[in-house]
Amino acid sequence: MESAKDSALDWHVARAALEWQLEMGVSEFIGEAPVDRFAVEPPAPKPAAVPQKPARPVMPGKIEEPRVDHVALAKQMAAGAPDLDGLRAALGAFEGCELKKGARNLVFADGNPAARVMVIGEAPGRDEDREGKPFVGRAGQLLDRMFDAIGMGRAATLSKDALYITNVLPWRPPQNRDPNPDEVAMLMPFVQRHVELVAPDVLVLMGNHACQAVLGKRGITRLRGQWEEALGRPVLPMFHPAYLLRNPHAKREAWADLLALQARLRDL
Ligand code: URA
């Protein structure tokens, strides 16, 4: 039988373990038992076999880790995707990005692929990671309300009213940190192919990180509402809905941008 002393000891051990986890940056519990995602490789659907070749020749007598050029590999895998299912499978099979190991789900896209408007955000957050869908948390709910105000939404069946939504990164970064340039460089080939396959009339970029990835520039306060051309189509940068939640006074500009989008779609 467990003595009072043992259970007091367990309590202190459990508390010390919890404090250690908080110090290590644990911000939420997602399961009863720990999972070492570096040890467990999820079974990934394999699209076309892609040679993961060393980028440099190995010198005789020298033991070198084969170096993979992840950007080149991403380009090859993305280009080989014949359709959206193929692209999702290619992303699922891409092992170049460490974010995948810490994420629960691949967050590929949501909405109607026949939409005239494709929205590109930054990266999934906790809710998106959990559900495997982009923009489903508080910022996503605001995004839905914003587009609803101009008669558009991800559940619409008619292309003219529909939205298609994705992110630059398909995996949640730890603690929602910003995407780093290497991650963006290796995931952009998938975004480019995604845009090619959906072939929307217009792209809407939500926030600085999407602008940096697609336009190569940031400074959303200056960029928002200014039409640009990228990936072969008109592009409209807008404030990210998460920014609007923190800065409700900026909703006035967001409304002006939505009206500009509506007018542009009428003219195209
Ligand atoms: N923010 C994003 O940029 N994308 C999401 O999917 C959710 C929040």
Q: Quick one: pLDDT at residue 166?
A: 98
Take residue 80 and report the two structure tokens written for it.
Answer: 């080989």
Please identify, by atom number, the ligand 1 atom nearest to the C-alpha of residue 209: 3
Length of the chain: 268
Instruction: State the pLDDT at residue 41.
Output: 57
Complete DSSP assignment for 194-206: HHHHH--SEEEEE
Res. 228: pLDDT tops 80: yes
Cα(49) to ligand 1 centroid in Å equals 31
**pLDDT, tens digit, for every residue of 94-153?**
999 999 999 999 999 999 999 999 999 999 999 999 999 999 999 999 999 999 999 999
Residue whose tokens read 């908080």: 22
Residues with a CB atom less than 6 Å from ligand 1: 121-125, 128, 134-135, 137, 139-140, 167, 206, 242
pLDDT digits (tens, 9 = 90+) for 12-71: 777 777 776 665 556 666 666 666 666 665 555 555 555 554 455 556 666 777 789 999
Does residue 226 register a pLDDT over 90? yes
Nearest to 103 by CA among 32, 181, 30, 43: 30
Ligand 1 centroid from CA 97, angstroms: 18
8 A C-beta contact, residue 41 and residue 93: no
Quote the CA–CA distance of 218 and 164 in Å, as a whole number.
23
Q: Where are the domains of the chain?
A: 70-267
Q: How confident is the model at residue 10 (pLDDT cuts 50, 70, 90)?
A: confident
Alpha-carbon 231 to chain mean position: 18
Contact 146, 117 (CB under 8 A): no
| pTM of the predicted protein model | 0.79
The pLDDT assigned to 207 comes to: 98
> What share of the chain has pLDDT > 90, as a percent?
74
**Cα-to-centroid distance, 134 and ligand 1 (Å):** 6
Residue 260 has pLDDT above 90, yes or no: yes
End-to-end CA distance of the chain: 77
- Other beta carbons within 10 angstroms of residue 42's beta carbon come to 10
CATH H-level, domain 70-267: superfamily? Uracil-DNA glycosylase-like domain (3.40.470.10)
